[in-house]
Amino acid sequence: VEQDDALYPNMTVRETLRTAAYLRLPTSRYTRDEKNAQAEAIIKSLRLTKAADTRIGDGLKRGVSGGERKRAAIGQELVGNPDVLFLDEPTSGLDSNSAYAVIENVRSEAVRTGRVVVLTIHQPSIEVLYLFSKVILLSAGATVFFGPPDDALAHFDRLGLPCPPKRNPADFFLDILTIDHDLESEPARIRALHDAYRGLEEERKMESGAVSGEIEIVDAVDAREDPLGGWANSWWEETGILYRRAWTEIFRNRPLIMAEFAQTIIVMLVMGLAFLRLDNDTRGIQNRAGILFFWPINQVSWRLGARKGTWCWVRTSAESGRWLVADILSP
């Protein structure tokens, strides 16, 4: 889940999650009703029931709240039943209450399903910090600590860096890890933190008996699941799903429809006047051939330009080709 939510503003939360379920869950294993049920289960688990039929909205149109929008973006990924979920700063731009609700919902879902959740976060509140099973603290690209939050406090306390009373441990960690480039002693201080963590890791290995430092990797892939999986749906099925989504998004956007209608009339008049009364000679034939190229290019080029941000978002996804076809075919 990326930091910036890429959602369609005119789609409701329920429609967004159902569309994601149609795209991600294979038709060979799930019926349409089962896909809808999966979307409804995610809506319930993320506490989006009251906002399920509310449009997502954007900066120009009122819709769901920031926390609900972020949970909807997370829900898009959860409907596909991933074994591991990655989130990039899911609390950015949210107030403390919404941030806690988002992380608490994600934790509850992880506990319920046994799913691994990895996320990056800056300056979490103390309540949010203690929702994490483990934290990894980084400085200058290297690990300074990895383990439960309370163990981090004990680790720094042993290094002579106790957390002041009534201080948010997350803010305390940031103060320790932030490098002041104006001080010549900072690189040495950070190296000392790195060395201290390596020493802690050696102690852990000795206690667990893993003296050799070798890690046994266990295959956690369910034998019943194909690790590659292929496509969830056929090319035509996914194109149809994306095409319906594009039509829904466009027809609910009245200003866009009016703008396209006005543009069509203006382009029609300009082209009609430009190619009015062509002669029936070689030049006239060339001009008529030119209009056959100009018209489709004009219809496609502005649409791709308007969708540049969206295209950058989906260009590496499995559905990018289908999305492009559906977007061009939509009005």
pLDDT digits over 47-101, tens only?
899 999 999 988 777 888 888 888 899 999 889 888 899 998 888 888 888 889 8
Q: Is 270 helix (H, G, I), strand (E, B) or coil?
A: helix
Asked if residues 25 and 79 have their Cβ atoms less than 8 Å apart, the reply is yes
Average pLDDT value for the chain: 80
User: Is it the case that residue 156 has pLDDT exceeding 60?
Assistant: yes
DSSP 59-112: SSS--S-HHHHHHHHHHHHHTT--SEEEEE-TTTT--HHHHHHHHHHHHHHHHH
Asked if residues 203 and 158 have their Cβ atoms less than 8 Å apart, the reply is no
User: Is it the case that residue 12 has pLDDT exceeding 50?
Assistant: yes
User: Is it the case that residue 303 has pLDDT exceeding 90?
Assistant: no
Asked if residues 231 and 238 have their Cβ atoms less than 8 Å apart, the reply is yes
Asked if residues 18 and 35 have their Cβ atoms less than 8 Å apart, the reply is yes
| pLDDT (0 to 100) of residue 148 | 92
User: Is it the case that residue 231 has pLDDT exceeding 50?
Assistant: yes
CB under 8 A, 24+ apart: contacts of 278-286? none
Strand 142-147 and strand 135-139: the pairing is antiparallel
205, two tokens? 């290995």
The highest-confidence range among 143-147, 235-239, 297-301, 326-330, by mean pLDDT, is 143-147
Asked if residues 9 and 63 have their Cβ atoms less than 8 Å apart, the reply is yes
Identity of residue 132: F
Asked if residues 129 and 137 have their Cβ atoms less than 8 Å apart, the reply is no
Report the predicted TM-score, pTM, of the whole model to 2 decimal places.
0.69
> What residue spans define the domains of the chain?
1-133, 144-207, 251-307
Residues 180 and 140: their CA atoms lie apart, in Å, by 11
What CATH number labels 1-133?
A: 3.40.50.300
Average pLDDT score over residue span 172-193: 83
Cα-to-chain-centroid distance, residue 217? 28
Locate the DSSP E strands across the chain: 84-88, 116-120, 135-139, 142-147
